[in-house]
Amino acid sequence: MSETTGERDVVDVLTSDHRQVTELLGRIQTAADHAERRDMADVVIAELVRHSVAEEMFVYPAMREHLPDGEQAVEHDKQEHKELELTMKELEGLDATNSRFDELVGQLGRILEDHVQDEEREQFPQLRARVPREQLVQMATNVEAAKKVAPTRPHPGAPNNALFHLTVGPGVGLVDRLRDKLTGRSTDA
């Protein structure tokens, strides 16, 4: 945790998400059971989609406001989110026995690694230096709440902005979770 108060801030929450998804990607690459690999890929996809939506809703507005190069950083991150979405969309429909499956898992890992490095080395330290602690803690609460109603499947044709996620996102998330339940798709680690 970032402070001795015990309250997690948004950087703690997002960094924890990064670790969880990175660990799962590593497990996919070493697991032998194809069904287990497919299930883990579904969890990675769901976690990344929820994480991205929450960032776009609550973190990117703060980055725009508080970081000296906030607009450029947000646009760069949104482009990486689009790359992740396109890769996840293709991965979503593949059986783990398909040779393209491993290729896409690797591609997802490379895009994510670059994205995580940008955030954790540059953006997150700047947010902590420039945004009041109380606001960072409130952002953590907002991010956690957003992840509960966010979509669980990639929608690369959808806009990557807070307004879309606030107005349409919960409905899309509801439909995604219903589809997940009906198909037995894994979405939780």
Asked if residue 31 is part of any domain, the answer here is yes
The reply to whether 118 falls in a domain is: yes
pLDDT digits (tens, 9 = 90+) for 94-118: 999 999 999 999 999 999 999 999 9
pTM of the model: 0.85
Whether 93 is covered by a domain: the verdict is yes
Q: Is residue 2 part of a domain?
A: no
- Higher pLDDT among residues 187 and 43, named by residue: 43
**Residue 4 within any structural domain of the chain:** no
Residue at 70 is within a domain: yes
Number of domains in the chain: 1
Range of the domain at 83: 10-183
CATH number where 166 lies: 1.20.120
How far is it, in rounded angstroms, from Cα 59 to Cα 139? Answer: 7
Residue 5 lies in a domain: no
Q: What would the pLDDT profile of 153-178 be if each residue is shown by its tens digit?
A: 777 776 565 655 555 555 656 566 66
Distance of alpha carbon 181 from alpha carbon 188, whole angstroms: 12
- Position 26 scores a pLDDT of 95
Sort residue 153 into left (φ over 0), alpha (ψ -120 to 50) or beta: beta
Task: Report the C-alpha gap between 89 and 106 in whole angstroms.
Answer: 14
Question: For a pLDDT cut of 70, what percent of the chain falls above it?
Answer: 81
Q: Cβ atoms within 10 A of the Cβ of 115, count?
A: 21
Of 5, 10, 113, which Cα lies nearest the Cα of 61?
10
Tell me the CB-side half-sphere exposure of residue 101, using CA atoms within 13 A. Answer: 19
In a domain, 189, yes or no: no
Confidence of residue 2 (pLDDT cuts 50, 70, 90): very low
**If we measure between CA atoms, which residue out of 50, 93, 47 comes closest to residue 187?**
47
How is residue 35 written in tokens? 């069904």
| Torsional sign, CA 48, 20, 62, 169 | positive
